[in-house]
A and B are shown apart, each in its own frame.
Chain A
Amino acid sequence: MKDDGERKGPNSGEGLSERYAQDTFLTLVQVDEVFKESKLLVDIYAPAVGSGFELIYKQGSSFDSCLLIKEKEKPCTIYAHIKDRSVIIKQCLYKFSVALTSNHVTHSQKLHSLKNLCEKFSDEVQEFGLNDEMVETGIKISQFMCQLIKKERNIAEDLKPFSKQHLNANSHYFFITFFSIVIVQNLDWNSERTMETVAMGALFHNVGATKNKAMDGTDKTYPATSEEALRGFPIVPQAVRQIVYQHRENIDRTGFPNQISGLLIYPLAKVVALGYGFTQLFIKHECRHTPALKEFLNSKTDIIKYDSSIIKALVGGLIKK
């Protein structure tokens, strides 16, 4: 049984004997993410009888031959190898670009798809680091989020379907981006450019983190390491890097890395700072925005960290219209 992440390809001649003791090298996937034109894009694994995971279908298998997946009366939890995650992300991006303009897909389904994409994106970056493809993916996700949130005027309604069960270690990437877009959309100086810049800054806020370090909430070096990680990609505007670098600064000089005052903080970084801060409360309140807002507004130590105009934009954006 393998447990070191090394894996032979589907054509290695080993048949379907491939097994893993743990899910460390596997990632949970949905059926509709792994098929393209009725063919499996990647190898598929499922929990084995007893313990561990085993390869059940090989890349290239037809949908009809994948009986465990096909038979709806026997729902099957399926996994792909993490090395194939970028292929799945690509497929999810493609599917979302089609769904975005479709009237047959609900707004809520679209939001959940984007949340799923954000989580896969952050998993991939934490596991393997940034590369050109992932940077382009991040930019695309940011643009999709702006387009979707711009379309929907009732943000409060948008948030209703989310609950505790939708949260995982990387859900905050989605919510920080979501709330940052809501804020910038409700500021009187918003524009197409500022929205996308803010969305990218929010989504990329922690791209310098490795899987182990990402779990450490006390790490104060991550804005700098994330900004450095983005330097090699000219496609990422300097404004985005600036947001990443300063999104943990507070106007009362209690932030990091430089503890600078409000006047010196890049205005769009202040937006993501509140998007970040509010996301912590939103998650604490199990995805209920009203109690999260109440706690935030009643906390003197919280509200002095942010510009009043930005707080008003967040509350205004979340109040049911």
Chain B
Amino acid sequence: MNTAKFKIAKGNLLIVDDEPDLLKSLKTILGDCANTIFTACDGNEALKVVAQEEIHCIISDINMPAMNGIEFLTILRKNGNQVPFIIYTSYGNHDLLRKASSLGVFDFLDKPNIKNLEEVVRKGLESGFDKKHQIESELDDKIKNELLKKLDE
């Protein structure tokens, strides 16, 4: 990893894909981004990992046997889990992707392109880690007044 470009990331990453070779490659490519990387071959297995481990970001394929990525995301959200969810797929079913939209997706990446993958995962992990420690707040009055003051300068 280019440490000059990326800050040291915190948090745990879960990668969900039914292609073992791809899981292995992604684990290697993203090795330096997370504290720990967990893998799962479908949504069922991924749900088990989420139940057992603290996960700060998930990168998932859509088209998988047993439980696909959208079904997995739906259950996650139903359980109140707001973890940043990155879709990494070559499966372009528009209706499924729109459903994913309404469930909340952190980013979309086209498989098998790995350009930007590291950057997006890093942001997802940071966002997931931060969300666990502080709820995103609206602009507070102090900051608002500082901004207004700057405008008058």
Hey, which bits of chain A sit against chain B, CB under 8 A? 189, 191, 193, 227-228, 231, 234, 237-239, 241-242, 245-246, 251, 258, 260, 262-267, 290, 293-294, 297-298, 303-304, 307-309, 311-312, 315, 319
Q: Is B28 an interface residue (CB 8 A)?
A: no
In the complex, which residues 75-99 of chain B have their Cβ closer than 8 Å to any Cβ of chain A?
77, 82, 87, 92, 94, 97-98
User: B104 to A260, Cβ gap below 8 A?
Assistant: yes
Contact of A237 among B101, B110, B150 (CB under 8 A): B110
Question: With A238-B110, A266-B101, A319-B150 as given contacts, are A312 and B136 in contact (CB-CB < 8 Å)?
Answer: no
B47 close to chain A: CB less than 8 A: no
Contacts of B101 in A (CB 8 A): 242, 245-246, 258, 266
- A307 contacts which chain B residues (CB < 8 A)? 136
Assess whether B103 is in contact with A242, with CB atoms less than 8 Å apart: no
Please indicate the chain A residues that have their CB under 8 angstroms from the CB of B144 in the complex: 297, 303
Bound: A265/B127 CA distance, A: 13
Interface SS of B by simple majority:
helix
With contacts defined as CB atoms under 8 Å apart, how many contacts are there between chain A and chain B in the complex? 86
A297 touches B108 (CB 8 A): no
Residues of A within 8 A of B38 (CB): none
B119 touches A263 (CB 8 A): no
> 12 additional contacts, CB 8 Å, given A297-B147, A307-B136?
A189-B123, A238-B97, A258-B102, A263-B136, A265-B104, A266-B104, A267-B127, A293-B147, A298-B148, A308-B139, A311-B139, A315-B150
Residue A319 contacts which of B106, B127, B131, B151 (CB distance < 8 angstroms)? B151
Asked whether, in the complex, the Cβ of B116 is within 8 Å of the Cβ of A263, the reply is: no
B97 to chain A, nearest CB (A): 6
CB <8 Å contact, B147 and A266: no
Is B119 in contact with A193, judged by CB distance below 8 angstroms? yes
Cross-chain contact A263 with B131 (CB below 8 angstroms): yes
Q: Would you call B108 and A239 a contact (CB within 8 A)? A: yes
The bracket for how many chain B residues form the interface is 20 to 34
Q: Which residues of B contact A (CB under 8 A)?
A: 77, 82, 87, 92, 94, 97-98, 101-108, 110, 116, 119, 123, 126-127, 131, 136-140, 143-144, 147-148, 150-151
Q: Decide yes or no: A294 and B148 within 8 Å by CB, A239-B107, A246-B101 being known contacts.
A: yes
Residues of A within 8 A of B106 (CB): 266-267
| Among A238, A262, A298, residue most surrounded by chain B Cβ atoms (within 10 Å) | A238
Task: Report which residue of B101, B104, B106 has the largest number of chain A beta carbons within 10 angstroms of its beta carbon.
Answer: B101
Q: What B residues does A263 contact at CB under 8 A?
A: 82, 104, 131, 136
Residues of B within 8 A of A238 (CB): 87, 92, 97, 108, 110
Given A238-B97, A239-B107, A264-B103, check contact A191 B147 (CB 8 Å): no
Residues of A within 8 A of B139 (CB): 297, 303, 308, 311-312
